[in-house]
Each structure stands twice: as C-alpha cells, then as structure tokens.
C-alpha cells in the first residue's frame, strides 16, 4: 500500500505539472524529479547523469511544443540552474530549481527501487 500511495502522489504531481504550472515550472519539476530519481539509483555523479531521451520526448510528456520546450530549457541553462545536452543532465542548484518548480525538496517522497 505504501508503494501505491507513493505512485499516486507522483501521478497527482505529474498531472499538476502539466495542467497548472507554466512551462518553466513544469520543466523544472520534471528535470528535478528525474534527477532526484537518478540520485536514488546511484546514477548521478558530479551533479550529472545520463538522460538519453530527446527534447521531443520531454515536450510530449509535458504537453508542450518542441520549440517552447527548447526555449524554456535555454532559460534554465542561461540561469545556470540546469543543462541538458548531448544526453547529459546537469543540475547546478537543486534548491533554486525546486523553488521554480514550486516544490519543497523535503516533501518529495522517496520512490523505492524496483
């Protein structure tokens, strides 16, 4: 039941990310969640992890156009908060990214490794 509750919480957050957040907030949320999940799995080294998806995949998941996604990712890169290029995701400031994503890092549930 704990696993179901964690997954339900994640689904609720994902729907909110798509429906109520701006593109900047939604992409910040998505990159933050992916990065934190990578940390839990031991995939993050020196603030970076492999993220072998295309921007189009993230755009589709967030309900955004590819152009809007690209411009929004550029904003995060220009602010030196996050950079996703050549299959590598680097998060320079988790706390500031969480503020943009409108989440508290401490409140994000730990998902079990399955």
Each residue's pLDDT expressed in tens, for the chain with a length of 114 residues: 444 444 444 445 555 555 577 999 999 999 998 999 899 889 999 999 999 999 999 898 888 899 999 999 999 999 999 999 999 999 999 999 999 998 887 655 555 444
Question: Which option is the CATH number for 2-107: 1.10.10.10, 3.40.640.10, 1.10.1270.20, 3.40.50.970?
Answer: 1.10.10.10
pLDDT of the residue at 108: 54
| Whether pTM exceeds 0.85 | no
In angstroms, the CA 59 to CA 72 distance is: 10
In angstroms, the CA 71 to CA 22 distance is: 13
Find tokens 């031991």 and name the residue: 42
Instruction: Say if residues 51 and 34 touch (Cβ distance below 8 Å).
Output: yes
pLDDT of the residue at 40: 87
pLDDT of the residue at 110: 56
């Amino acid at each position: 039941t704990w696993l179901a509750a964690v997954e339900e919480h994640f689904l609720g957050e994902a729907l909110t990310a798509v429906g109520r957040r701006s593109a900047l907030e939604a992409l910040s949320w998505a990159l933050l969640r992916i990065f934190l999940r990578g940390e839990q799995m031991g995939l993050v080294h020196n603030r970076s992890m492999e993220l072998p998806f295309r921007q189009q995949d993230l755009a589709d998941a967030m309900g955004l156009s590819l152009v809007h996604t690209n411009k929004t990712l550029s904003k995060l890169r220009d602010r030196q908060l996050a950079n996703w290029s050549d299959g590598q995701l680097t998060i320079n400031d988790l706390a500031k990214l969480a503020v943009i994503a409108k989440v508290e890092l401490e409140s994000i549930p730990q998902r079990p490794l399955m």
